[in-house]
Amino acid sequence: MEHTHVLNGTPVVGGHAYGPAIWPGERPVYDPSDAASVVEDEREVEIKRFTDAAAAVAGRLRERASHASGAAAEVLSATAGLAEDRGWIGAASGLIKKGTAAPAAAVAATEQFATMFTKLGGLMAERVTDLNDVRDRVVAELLGVAEPGVPEPAEPSVLLADDLAPADTAGLDPKKVTALVTRLGGPTSHTAIIARQLGIPCVVAVSGLGAVAAGTVVLVDGTAGTLEVDPDAGDAAARVEESRRMAELVADWRGPGVTGDGRPIAVLANVADGRSARSATAHPVEGVGLFRTELAFLDRADEPSVEEQTRLYREVLDAFEGQKVVIRTLDAGSDKPLKFVTQVEETNPALGVRGNRIADEHPEIRAAQLDAIAAAADGHQPTPWVMAPMIASATEAAEFAGEVRRRGLIAGVMIEVPAAAVLAESILAEVDFVSIGTNDLTQYTMAADRMSAELASLTDPWQPAVLTLIGGVARAGAVVDKPVGVCGEAAADPLLACVLVGLGVTSLSTAPAAAAAVGARLAEVTVDQCRAAAEAALATADPAAARAAATAALAAAPGS
Ligand code: PEP
Ligand code: MG
């Protein structure tokens, strides 16, 4: 009997892929110790040969970047930037000046930088692969051999590698390369970034990958983080088929958000500044459901001026001109401390002076922010919605709404505190809309720190207690016909999104990259199925049972 061998790694992008393995093409074979030293009067010419080669490599990468978009364009430009780096070029030129041949100088200069990056650790260490890629391309150029890279596979294949440089992965055709699996790399490496953009399954840090030869048939499970060598063909095909069907729906999904039976559910983006808002427009989102304003000021010692804030808010409004934008006032404190909001040391900051509570002590900070939002909104359509974080009572909601409406803006609050969820009806009487922050609502409902890894099963928005509170808020919204959105991480989970709609939530705001998966899933289900899923989940005792119950309810035929 065939023996299936399973290798484990870190899951990066979910989904299944099945096919023969391919490995990237050979890197140029070059032994720097073979290089003869360059005689003195040829050294200037050798330096020029090196700088020309680096410029040619950078130029080709920039040319490819100009034809790519999104993350692919960004990684190609970043790699071109390494080939143009003055420090690296200076180090290599310095070596050539002392007689080292250009290819050997490229190798030695790269080694210096790689050692430095590795010492810095984290994100910088993950850039070593990109540096080595630039080195190999420049060495190939100097030797006059073909530029290294990924071969064009004859049939859909799984690309295995030690690690993939951005220039290898950018521009890959996801129909030909159906998954990426690497021996090295982390969840923030370029391999991971590109896999997310291509929407193909990806597993990194797989030990033992080197033993899997090209041509071996493999099954990648990007959700579990595994690579099965020689799996059962029938089983593999069925698992791939279901995930392919869903992936195609996700790739083709263009919005707007609507259930299979026609109920509109806006799918919106969570953003942090102008840059993230502009990049969110590349995703099928219908506006911004949460602009976390405090994130732009985390490193600021002084309060930004009204003018500076106005410019920032205008950037986000400009990116989504003509579309809904929900701006949240500063959620300072606890996990997002702001230096310019003076706070005494608190023993329990999550329960302390955070969010809208800073306005008690510093009404001028909130007033300046609202002035800036109103100035940014001047001339923009539609009028932005403005909401406060950490509201606990109807009195707080009424006070905030007064300040917002005085400036001609649309007023709402976040429901993040269980007290606000319990009394949602009286809160909704004071405002035009609410948005449920499931991250904090879960933390406060379950009395479990959202930053604690040990408590992850408690800080799970699938907890039936959390779902029960969300259901109550949505019912209160339906009674007065006011929008009830969700903007916490819960909205990014396609299965949970169906449950939220079944509970009565009217819009979902997620990290932009998650929007298509959420929208495509909603398009597959009816509101009745969502209601059945919500009811089934509410009747369970824990998150795992809630997920299983919702899955089963959605799999049942509508009306059955
Ligand atoms: C939330 O708590 O769910 C939320 C959206 O706000 P933040 O994550 O910024 O606290
Ligand atoms: Mg919150």
Distance of CA 416 from the midpoint of ligand 2 (Å): 6
| pLDDT value of residue 188 | 61
Residue 552 tokens, joined:
């089963």
Q: Which of 201, 223, 246 is the last residue of a domain?
A: 246
Residue 506 domain-assigned (yes or no): yes
477 and 505 share a domain? yes
Domain of residue 118 covers 32-143
Same domain, 19 and 54: no
pLDDT band at 559 (very low <50, low <70, confident <90, very high): very low
Q: Which of 184, 215, 246 is the last residue of a domain?
A: 246
Report the SS3 class of residue 515. Answer: helix
Percent of the residues in the chain that have a pLDDT greater than 90, as a whole number? 62
Report if residue 424 sits inside a domain: yes
State yes or no: cis peptide before 382, omega within 30 of 0.
yes
- Binding site as annotated, residues: 292, 328, 416, 439-440, 450
Residue 104 and residue 13 share a domain: no
**Domain of 198: which CATH number?**
3.50.30.10
CA nearest ligand 1 atom 9, residue? 292
Residues 68 and 155 in one domain: no
Q: What is the CA radius of gyration of the chain?
A: 27
Pocket of ligand 1 (CB under 6 A): 290, 292, 331, 416, 437-440, 487-488
Kindly tell me if the per-residue pLDDT of 265 is higher than 70: yes
Same-domain status, 380 and 453: yes
The tally of CA atoms less than 13 A away on the side-chain side of residue 325 is 34
- Give the pLDDT confidence score for residue 2 in this predicted structure: 44
Per-residue confidence (pLDDT) for residue 222, from 0 to 100? 83
92-96, 120-124, 390-394, 538-542 — which is least confidently predicted? 120-124
Residue of 366, 352, 373, 356 lying closest to 413 (CA atoms): 356
Average pLDDT value over all residues in the chain: 90
CB count, 10 Å around CB of 179?
30
Q: Is residue 517 part of a domain?
A: yes
Q: pLDDT, tens digit, for every residue of 133-188? A: 899 999 999 998 877 877 668 799 999 998 887 677 777 888 889 999 999 876 66
More confident of the two residues 479 and 69: 479
pLDDT band at 242 (very low <50, low <70, confident <90, very high): confident
Q: Domain containing 56 — which CATH number?
A: 1.10.274.10
Find, among 233, 257, 264, 26, the residue nearest to 149 by Cα. 26
In a domain, 523, yes or no: yes
Evaluate whether residue 39 is within a structural domain: yes
Q: From edge to edge, which strands make up the β-sheet containing 5-8?
A: 5-8, 226-229, 217-221, 16-22, 157-161, 177-182, 202-204, 10-13
Q: Is residue 108 part of a domain?
A: yes
Kindly state whether residues 115 and 170 are assigned to the same domain: no
In sequence order, what are the residues at sequence separation of 6 or more whose Cβ sits closer than 8 angstroms to the Cβ of residue 278? Answer: 315, 319
Number of H-type helices and E-type strands within the chain: 22, 16
The last residue of one of the domains, among 192, 216, 246, is 246
More confident residue, 24 or 320: 320
Q: CA nearest 410: which of 325, 474, 470? A: 325
pTM of this prediction?
Answer: 0.67
How much is the pLDDT for 192? Answer: 76
Measure 516 CA to ligand 2 centroid, in angstroms. 23
Residue 343's pLDDT is 66
Say if residue 101 is in the same domain as residue 72: yes
Positions annotated as catalytic residues are 190, 487
Please state the rounded mean pLDDT for residues 517-538: 96
CA of residue 316 to ligand 1 center, whole Å: 19
Give the mean model confidence (pLDDT) for residues 502-531: 95
The three-point CA angle 244-246-249 to 5° equals 110
pLDDT tens digits, 445-500: 999 988 775 677 788 899 999 999 999 999 999 999 999 999 988 998 888 999 99
The residues facing 270 across adjacent strands are 290
Q: Is the pLDDT reported for residue 70 higher than 90?
A: no
Could you list the residues known to form a binding site for Mg(2+), using ranges.
416, 440
Q: What is the DSSP string of 447-486?
A: T--TT-STTTTTS-TT-HHHHHHHHHHHHHHHHHT--EEE
Assess whether pLDDT exceeds 50 at residue 202.
yes
CB-neighbour burial class of residue 215 (10 A; exposed 0-12, middle 13-18, buried 19+):
exposed
Amino acid at 39: V
Distances from the Cα of 72 to the Cα of 15, 178, 198, 250, angstroms: 21, 17, 9, 19
Q: Please give the annotated binding residues for phosphoenolpyruvate, written as ranges.
A: 292, 328, 439-440, 450
Q: What average pLDDT does this structure show over 261-273?
A: 96
Q: What is the pLDDT of residues 108-130, one digit of tens each?
A: 999 999 998 888 877 777 788 88
Residue given tokens 């035009």 in the structure block: 432
**Do 435 and 527 fall into the same domain?**
yes
C-alpha to C-alpha distances, 536 to 462, 463, 501, 502, nearest whole angstrom: 12, 13, 14, 10
- Mutational pocket test of ligand 1: of 273, 288, 292, the residue with most ligand atoms within 8 Å of the beta carbon: 292
Tell me: do 170 and 304 sit in the same domain.
no
Nearest-atom number in ligand 1 for the CA of 436 is 3
252-266, 345-359, 463-477: range with lowest mean pLDDT: 345-359
Domain count, the chain: 3
Q: How far is the CA of 166 from the centre of ligand 2 (A)?
A: 34
Q: Is residue 305 a part of any domain in this protein?
A: yes
410 with 316, same domain? yes
Same domain, 314 and 352: yes
Model confidence at 315, pLDDT cuts 50, 70, 90, reads very high
State residue 95's pLDDT score.
Answer: 95
Q: Is the pLDDT of residue 320 over 60?
A: yes
pLDDT tier, 430 (very low <50, low <70, confident <90, very high otherwise)? very high
Q: How far is 112 from 108, CA to CA, in rounded Å?
A: 6
Which residue type sits at 267? V
Residue nearest to atom 1 of ligand 1 (CA): 437
Find the CATH number of the domain harbouring 369.
3.20.20.60
Lowest average pLDDT, out of 123-132, 269-278, 547-556, goes to: 123-132
Question: Which position has the token pair 């309810």?
Answer: 553
Considering the domain architecture, whether residues 410 and 496 belong to the same structural domain is answered as yes
Q: Does residue 560 lie within any of the structural domains?
A: no
Mean predicted confidence (pLDDT) in 236-260: 89
